[in-house]
Homo-oligomer: A and B are copies of this chain.
């Protein structure tokens, strides 16, 4: 079972990487970009786990290691 954990900075937390991308896009001539936020995707392969179990495992992994819950939010999605 493949699980995708998406980790994004919480709203209100400054995102310098996003700001840098926004400036770079403007420099390249892409107008109309108001806001850019950058996050991480972690794709985990959990062979033999059922969907519900995989979701729970990924949830625990995100809490313990993958996300810093002080400044980041995460979401877990079972892919296949």
Residues of chain A whose beta carbon lies under 8 Å from any beta carbon of chain B: 6, 8, 18, 21, 24-25, 28, 30, 32-49, 57, 60-61, 64-66
Contact = CB atoms under 8 A, between A and B. Distances in A.
Contacts of A38: 40-43
B60 A30 contact: yes
Nearest to A35: B45
Given A32-B48, A34-B45, 12 more contacts: A21-B65, A24-B65, A25-B61, A25-B65, A28-B65, A30-B64, A32-B46, A32-B57, A33-B45, A35-B43, A36-B43, A37-B42
A43 B25 CA distance: 13
A44 B33 CA distance: 7
- State the 6 A-B residue pairs at the shortest beta-carbon distance, nearest first: A35-B45, A39-B41, A34-B45, A37-B43, A34-B47, A41-B41
